[in-house]
Amino acid sequence: MNDSLLGTARAALVPVAACAVALAGLTAWTASGGAGRPAHVTVEDARVLLPFGTDDTAAMLRLRNTGDTDDELVAVEAPTAGGAMLSRTVVANGAGSMRMIPSVSVPAHGVLAMSPHELDVMVSAPPRLNPGDRLPLVLRFRHTGTVRAEAVVVRPGTRD
């Protein structure tokens, strides 16, 4: 082997060895869980208030994110109703009003609990519902993707 070829091989050895060491380190870091888990949101305790006649109503959900990164609820659908959207109650000068919001964050390793007094899902033109019925919901998250849930119909002021 001539000196030129030997010199080239030695010069290439340093970056190749550096890449191998970096790859081994990243592999060990990922295998040990250091790279983290992506956002993963599940729905718990989904309830919808029994509407009066054909009035709009509110659905409340507990969203649990078991991932290592925050996620964002970006859309809600109620396939059997006229529509659904995120809403927040805003109180100013002693009067409350409802504001539609485009999205809401679900913290990593956390729970977002909705209530009819703060953040909820407004369901417009719901189908005829009775206590104990289930209203299907489709939630779309930025990272988790689509999650389907069923909200149990409850009378206002009760848990079941």
Predicted confidence at residue 119, as pLDDT, reads: 96
Do 50 and 117 lie in one domain? The reply is: yes
Predicted confidence at residue 4, as pLDDT, reads: 72
Predicted confidence at residue 27, as pLDDT, reads: 64
Do 48 and 30 lie in one domain? The reply is: no
State the Cα–Cα distance between residues 89 and 119, nearest whole angstrom.
6
Whether residue 159 lies inside any domain: the answer is: no
Do 105 and 133 lie in one domain? The reply is: yes
Predicted confidence at residue 15, as pLDDT, reads: 74
For residues 23-52, b (16+ Cβ closer than 10 Å) or e, as one string?
eeeeeeeeeeeeeeeebbbebeebbbbbbe
State the Cα–Cα distance between residues 106 and 6, nearest whole angstrom.
57
Residue pLDDT tens, the chain, 160 long:
567 766 676 776 777 766 677 667 666 655 655 557 899 999 999 999 998 877 899 999 999 999 999 999 999 999 999 999 999 988 888 777 889 999 999 999 999 999 988 999 999 999 999 999 999 999 999 999 999 999 999 998 776 5
Do 9 and 67 lie in one domain? The reply is: no
Do 87 and 120 lie in one domain? The reply is: yes
Do 60 and 31 lie in one domain? The reply is: no
Do 71 and 142 lie in one domain? The reply is: yes
Predicted confidence at residue 63, as pLDDT, reads: 98
Helix, strand or coil for residue 95? strand
Structural element, H or E, at residue 45: strand 41-49
Question: By residue range, what is the domain housing residue 112?
Answer: 41-154
Do 78 and 117 lie in one domain? The reply is: yes
Give me the number of domains the chain comprises.
Answer: 2
Predicted confidence at residue 64, as pLDDT, reads: 98
Predicted confidence at residue 1, as pLDDT, reads: 58
Do 48 and 84 lie in one domain? The reply is: yes
Predicted confidence at residue 35, as pLDDT, reads: 59
